[in-house]
């Protein structure tokens, strides 16, 4: 039997839920204030507002702290905008913490969450390009940590846009190309090739999806080529 709640406990719970509901309804405004503070370089207030937003989401999703938020807590179709905002907030918090050596651990935690909320999501390429542009500007004190996070987006990603488009996500041919991706990610030049592949193939596949004729023709011509490379060429590269 569950614990019996007294009238006072039940009333306090109702009041708490009403307060949480009000906070949730105002969460976008809170996040917006955080971004405005960031733009004004008021980093303390930016962190306070970003943290407040994430704490609201953690409580709504019934997780123990916002570092335990996961994409699985969200509906990938109806809450994708929320997930994108969460990923960007974790990224901005990582940037703020990065500037203060004693908070490097917090920066890493936020980066881990940023990667988690980026890999395999519809906005994956957008987020990877965002972090790459900051890396080009030399905007981080611990650039290698952010460079590793950039690579991890692709390491953790199960997407292989063109091959998946032709064969599906779980086909053995798709798995072969994922193994090639993992090999490429071991070198800086390979990481750049993978980045370019994701950048351009994601855009191409999105266009192909809206054309029945393109779907049929590309799958007809691409499938044999991809199969040949997977069975004849990749064994020599991956062995």
In a domain, 49, yes or no: yes
Per-residue pLDDT of the chain (239 residues; tens, 9 = 90+): 456 667 777 777 778 778 889 999 999 999 999 999 999 999 999 999 999 999 999 999 999 999 999 999 999 889 999 999 999 999 999 999 999 989 999 999 999 999 999 999 989 999 999 999 999 888 889 999 999 999 899 888 887 878 888 888 888 888 888 888 888 888 888 888 888 888 888 778 777 777 777 777 777 788 888 888 888 888 888 87
Task: Give 69-124 as a 3 state SS string.
Answer: CCHHHCCCCCCHHHHHHHHHHHHHHHHHHHCCHHHHHHHHHHHHHHHHCCCCCCCH
The total number of structural domains in the chain stands at 1
In a domain, 73, yes or no: yes
In a domain, 79, yes or no: yes
**Model pLDDT, residue 29:** 96
In a domain, 45, yes or no: yes
Domain that holds residue 24: 14-118
In a domain, 80, yes or no: yes
Q: Is 168 helix (H, G, I), strand (E, B) or coil?
A: coil
**Model pLDDT, residue 17:** 79
Sign of CA dihedral 14, 20, 22, 24: negative
In a domain, 54, yes or no: yes
Separation of alpha carbons 55 and 66, rounded Å: 6
In a domain, 157, yes or no: no
> Helices 27-39 and 7-25, interaxial angle, to 10°?
50
**Model pLDDT, residue 1:** 47
Burial class for 59, CB neighbours closer than 10 Å (0-12, 13-18, 19+) = middle
Q: Whose CA is closest to 56, among 35, 78, 26?
A: 26
In a domain, 32, yes or no: yes
């Amino acid at each position: 039997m569950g614990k019996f709640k007294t009238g006072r406990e039940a009333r306090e719970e109702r009041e708490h839920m009403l307060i949480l509901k009000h906070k949730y309804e105002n969460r976008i405004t809170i996040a917006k204030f955080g971004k405005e503070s960031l733009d004004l370089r008021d980093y303390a207030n930016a962190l306070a507002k970003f943290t407040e937003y994430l704490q609201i989401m953690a409580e709504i999703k019934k997780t123990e702290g916002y570092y335990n938020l996961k994409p699985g807590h969200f509906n990938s179709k109806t809450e994708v905008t929320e997930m994108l905002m969460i990923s960007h907030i974790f990224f901005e918090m990582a940037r703020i913490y990065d500037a203060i050596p004693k908070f490097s651990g917090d920066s890493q935690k936020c980066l881990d969450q940023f990667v988690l909320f980026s890999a395999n999501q519809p906005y994956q390429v957008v987020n990877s390009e965002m972090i790459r542009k900051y890396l080009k500007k030399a905007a981080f004190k611990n650039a290698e940590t952010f460079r590793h996070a950039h690579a991890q987006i692709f390491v953790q990603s199960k997407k292989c846009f063109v091959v998946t488009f032709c064969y599906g996500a779980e086909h053995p041919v798709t798995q072969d190309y994922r193994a090639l991706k993992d090999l490429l990610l071991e070198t800086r030049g390979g990481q750049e090739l993978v980045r370019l592949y994701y950048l351009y193939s994601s855009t191409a596949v999105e266009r192909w999806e809206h054309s029945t004729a393109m779907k049929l023709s590309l799958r007809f011509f691409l499938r044999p080529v991809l199969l040949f490379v997977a069975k004849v060429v990749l064994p020599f590269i991956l062995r």
